[in-house]
């Protein structure tokens, strides 16, 4: 048997690893799986674990008030040292570009354990955007032994950095998670979701907004907020729903600028099932989130990306997403065109997802089992 450790700590990691964990668990005769969470996120992480019925074997419970990147690195590495020493896995699986993923890969390297990187090869080319994720994923790429790239472009990025061995293009597991999540939701009472969002008028065009990137803190975030305010002033048939990130640097400008608008609904961060239900029932998406850029095309939802650069360039190339940055005029102009022009809307609302077909987790599982033979 191959002894595999998954190490993750944030909500996005949990979502994207959930379908892979399920695939590993389905092969319990060949894979001994241990799940380790750092708790870099706490409540948001726990919501995803509950939804997908995943029970960690180890929990470092790192999250604390006003935690810094230094805190996560130092305390995370210290906690992982003892766990890895006592369990000695054959393979560590990390996902994406969080600080948890980086310290998971670094701890594996220190213990001379093989490392598999899921969602390998994403690059923006700007080490400060997204921050600190761009540098995290570059470093993980050079620590990892096996690279599961979601797209051809991601694999090319790795080769450009002279990483040439053990690269597989498998698609993105976030699409697997989306389909798995929607299947679970279908088995539940739809009234639970309709009642939860009863404050929304779905006869109007619902715009889902997410925004939390560190590089946008300050004036860029204020620009985003003023853009949203003007959009509702221009279009009476629009309602905006914005699950507001817990970071005070996000909450302060959002609440101050948008807090008194009747057609802008500022709510607490949504549990994953409610988020994907809302995504499915929205008209369009304004976001700086990587995951939603990948999920929305599978549901035929146009995406405006409120960042100056994106490592998820495939959606831009095939036309399911458009970069608008944090410029007020550009956000308002592009959103207005999608609201006014049915032709333009249909052009972006393609169900042609360049990020995957929902089978990435099976591919990764099969490759790992083949490597272990």
The residues that are catalytic are 97, 119, 133, 212, 214, 245
CB 36, CB 56: distance < 8 Å: yes
Q: Which among 308, 320, 130, 304 has a CA at the least distance from the CA of 209?
A: 304
Look at residue 290 and give its three-state secondary structure. Answer: helix
The structure tokens listed for 226 are 């003023």
Within 272-367, strands assigned E span 284-287, 303-305, 321-323
Residue in the structure block whose two tokens are 């925004």: 211
> How many Cα atoms occupy the beta-carbon half-sphere of 267 within 13 Å?
21
Using CA atoms, how far apart are residues 19 and 23, in angstroms rounded to an integer? 6
Q: Which among 318, 286, 323, 317 has a CA at the least distance from the CA of 301?
A: 286
Q: Which among 12, 168, 162 has a CA at the least distance from the CA of 95?
A: 12
Using CA atoms, how far apart are residues 72 and 102, in angstroms rounded to an integer? 10
Cis-peptide into 5, omega within 30 deg: no
CB 67, CB 37: distance < 8 Å: no
């Amino acid at each position: 048997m191959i002894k595999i450790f998954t190490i993750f700590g944030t909500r996005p990691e949990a979502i994207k690893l959930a379908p892979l964990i399920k695939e590993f668990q389905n092969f319990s005769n060949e894979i001994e799986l241990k799940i380790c969470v750092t708790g870099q996120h706490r409540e948001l992480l726990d919501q995803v674990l509950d939804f997908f019925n995943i029970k960690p074997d180890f929990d470092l419970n790192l999250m604390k008030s006003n935690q810094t990147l230094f805190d996560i690195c130092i305390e995370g590495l210290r906690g992982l040292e003892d766990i890895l020493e006592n369990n000695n896995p054959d393979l560590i699986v990390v996902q994406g570009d969080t600080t948890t993923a980086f310290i998971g890969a670094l701890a594996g390297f220190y213990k001379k354990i093989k490392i598999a990187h899921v969602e390998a090869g994403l690059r923006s080319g700007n080490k400060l955007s997204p921050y600190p994720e761009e540098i995290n994923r570059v470093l993980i790429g050079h620590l990892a032994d096996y690279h599961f790239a979601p797209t051809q472009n991601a694999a090319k990025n790795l080769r450009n950095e002279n990483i040439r061995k053990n690269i597989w293009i498998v698609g993105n597991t976030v699409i697997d998670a989306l389909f798995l999540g929607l299947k679970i939701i279908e088995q539940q009472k739809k009234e639970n979701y309709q009642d939860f969002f009863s404050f929304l008028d779905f006869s109007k065009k619902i715009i889902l907004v997410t925004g939390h990137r560190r590089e946008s803190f300050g004036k860029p975030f204020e620009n985003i907020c003023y853009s949203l305010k003007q959009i509702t002033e221009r279009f009476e048939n629009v309602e905006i729903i914005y699950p507001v990130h817990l970071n005070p640097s996000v909450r302060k400008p959002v609440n101050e600028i948008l807090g008194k608008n009747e057609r802008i609904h500022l709510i607490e961060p949504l549990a994953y099932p409610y988020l994907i239900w809302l995504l499915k029932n929205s008209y369009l998406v304004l976001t700086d989130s990587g995951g939603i850029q990948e999920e929305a095309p599978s549901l035929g939802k146009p995406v405006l990306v409120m960042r100056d650069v994106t490592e998820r360039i495939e959606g831009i190339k095939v036309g399911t997403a458009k970069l608008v940055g944090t410029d007020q005029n550009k956000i308002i102009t592009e959103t207005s065109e999608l609201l006014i022009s049915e032709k333009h809307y249909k052009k972006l609302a393609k169900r042609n997802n360049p990020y995957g077909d929902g089978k990435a987790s099976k591919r990764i599982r099969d490759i790992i089992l083949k490597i272990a033979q």
